Amino acid sequence: MNLFVTGAAGFIGSNYVRQVLATTDDSITVFDALTYAGNRESLRDLDPNPRFTFVQGDITKRDQVNAAMAGHDAVVHFAAESHVDRSIASPDEFVHTNCDGTNVVCDVARTLEVERFVHISTDEVYGSIEKGSFVETDRLEPRSPYSASKAGSDLIALAYHETYGLPVIVTRSSNNFGPYQFPEKVIPLFTTNLLNEKKVPLYGDGLNIRDWCFVEDNCAGVDLVLRNGQIGEIYNIGAGNEITNHDLTNSVLAILGHDDSMIEYVEDRLGHDRRYSIDTSKVRKLGWAPQREFAEALGSTVEWYRDNREWWEPLLQSGK
């Protein structure tokens, strides 16, 4: 297949592209605006590959999307603004990119008659759950501008399937971690802070719970859904590694040889969801299962940041 992958200079997208090029004969065009979290250096090692093409462009610009998408068989749509704190400070750009941009990408894909369209989303669209786990048919109750804009983009993509027959499939993933993640997210933020002998800021009481999935496992799930998922369906992807933020912090501290004196408790985030949990039975029926054990994958992730200062230090120095 010839894949058109939006937003793949970002964290999950760059890992997805690297994985697909390594495991298939597919060709890939990456389409990315290179906003603050899109880093061309995350893909630089792929430039010599004749099956890889990079196009800088904005998903909200129809002419740019149309010119770049033409001739591709399938779309994998990662491009999105994705940080809750930034969405609270600047909601307009989240709604514009995530909703308007998704509308443009879907409409261009419709006119070009692509064969498959995977829309990448998040478990945050479901909101918080005290007990049990969300299934794909549960009501959406987003509680931040970020998650609300992603919920809106999910509905836009699914509406294109219902209205126009666009062959859409949606994935909703739990929190990802791994190499090439912009150092504003908790694991790379805490890791890079500690590598620079700085304290780590922990929100509230630290007892908010997230399910952590290693990025390579998530990418394998996304690719399986692209090839074998049922059109018009939604698939949750999560590894079942539910852990409090406090325990996660202690794990990172231990890996880097620090104790809890390096924790700085800070005022809680506005509207901070208490617990995320998703049921992944549906994607597991396709044959997917996480391959990496959490503690091992966390250790390898921390080591990647230790070994790749040349990737993340310029991002900190740029003040982005």
Active site (annotated) includes residue 92: no
Active site (annotated) includes residue 146: yes
Residues 241-261: pLDDT tens digits? 999 999 999 999 999 999 999
Q: Give the separation between CA 251 and CA 13, rounded to whole angstroms.
A: 26
- The vertex-34 CA angle with 30 and 37, nearest 5°, equals 110
One of 16, 58, 81, 146 is an active-site residue; which one? Answer: 146
Q: Give the separation between CA 252 and CA 4, rounded to whole angstroms.
A: 36
Instruction: Provide CB contacts within 8 A for 19, sequence distance 6+.
Output: 216, 219, 220, 223
**Per-residue pLDDT at 319 exceeds 70:** no
Structure-token match 């940080």, residue found: 83
One of 124, 136, 211, 223 is an active-site residue; which one? Answer: 124
- The vertex-301 CA angle with 80 and 262, nearest 5°, equals 100
How many of the other CB atoms lie within 10 Å of CB of 235? 25
One of 32, 58, 123, 217 is an active-site residue; which one? Answer: 123
- Domains 2-176+213-237 and 179-210+241-272+293-318 in one fold: no
Three-state DSSP at 212 gives strand
**Annotated domain spans of the chain:** 2-176+213-237, 179-210+241-272+293-318
Residues 91-101: pLDDT tens digits? 999 999 999 99
Residues 214-228: pLDDT tens digits? 999 999 999 999 999
pTM of the entire structure?
A: 0.96
Burial annotation 1-26 (CB, 10 A radius, 16+ → b, else e): bebbbbbbbbbbbbbbbbbbbeeeeb
- Fold (topology level) of 179-210+241-272+293-318: UDP-galactose 4-epimerase; domain 1 (3.90.25)
pLDDT of residue 278: 98
Q: Give the separation between CA 159 and CA 170, rounded to whole angstroms.
A: 12
Chain-centre distance for alpha carbon 73:
22
Average pLDDT on 39-62 reads: 97
Over the chain, what is the mean pLDDT?
Answer: 96
- Assign domain 2-176+213-237 one CATH number from 3.40.50.1000, 3.40.50.300, 3.30.1130.10, 3.40.50.720: 3.40.50.720
